[in-house]
Amino acid sequence: MSITIKSPAEQDAMRVAGRLTAEVLDMIGPYIQPGVTTDELDRICHDYIVDVQHAIPAPLNYRGFPRSICTSVNHVVCHGIPGDRKLRPGDIVNVDITVIKDGFHGDSSRMFFVGKGTIQGERVVRVCREALWLGIEQAGPGKRLGDIGHAIQQYVEAQGFSVVREYCGHGIGRVFHEDPQVLHYGEPGTGLELREGLTFTIEPMVNVGKRHVRLLPDGWTVVTRDHSLSAQWEHTVLITKDGCEVLTLGAEERR
């Protein structure tokens, strides 16, 4: 696979896909309450994407994934499959949305607290979100992918948490996962040099305990080996002439 540079028209299509993705996350937030099942969240998002947005939920049947969104609760790192488990007060849950509109993908995820958060839950969610934004601040023409990874790793480890290595951000466009791979650790000044028209995700996964993960027998669900809490935040970004544009900003982040 190779790296694609998006034309101005393709950049506009990515803006639309990114906005729709953010709107799904804005929409689902109020439903994340004690007692709701992740299957119910999946159904609400599916119907909104298909019936309201006239778009396609990219995860559904992607390499056999059985649902339209990923829901990753507590020690689940990523790619959690929605099911009949009811959310409980104190849970932290990542909802990961990927929407296809007019052939282009938008990909974003956020963390939500079910009821009131625990101290540890609030801390890992905050550190992960700050790490994503430190990575975004590094994204601009002439910078390198290693600058992004380094900024994230440096901050997370200084807070006493760890960065998952097995999964990474990715180029995105007509293809859900395309080159380049965007690692959330690394050395400054190394890796691909960024240029205008590149679109990719940054999506750090941060564990309270050790960085190691395990894949469950369902072939999708990734959990922390030590069962410690894990958080993830994801945005899709476009490299512009003088920096980057975050294509998946939520209503709250736009203000």
Binding residues for ligand MF3 (CB under 6 A)? 59, 62-63, 65, 70, 79, 96, 98, 107, 201, 203, 220, 234
Q: How far is the CB of 209 from ligand MF3 (least distance, A)?
A: 22
* Residue selected from 23, 91, 96, 178 as contacting Co ion according to rule CB under 5 A: 96
Range 165-204, binding Co ion (CB under 5 A):
201
Give the contact letters, 99-118, x = binds to Co ion (CB under 5 A), - = no: --------x-x---------
Two tokens, residue 22: 């953010």
Alpha-carbon distance of 110 to 247, in angstroms, equals 14
Burial class (CB in 10 A: 0-12, 13-18, 19+), 63: exposed
Q: Closest residue to ligand MF3, Cβ-based?
A: 59
Give the contact letters, 131-170, x = binds to Co ion (CB under 5 A), - = no: ----------------------------------------
Alpha-carbon distance of 211 to 223, in angstroms, equals 10
Question: ω before 180 within 30° of 0 (cis)?
Answer: yes
Q: How far is the CB of 168 from Co ion (least distance, A)?
A: 9
Tell me whether residue 48 or residue 220 sits nearer to ligand MF3 (CB atom): 220
Alpha-carbon distance of 143 to 160, in angstroms, equals 27
Do the beta carbons of residue 100 and residue 68 sit within 8 Å? Answer: no
Q: What is the DSSP letter of 61?
A: T
Contacts with Co ion, residue ranges (CB under 5 A): 96, 107, 109, 201, 234
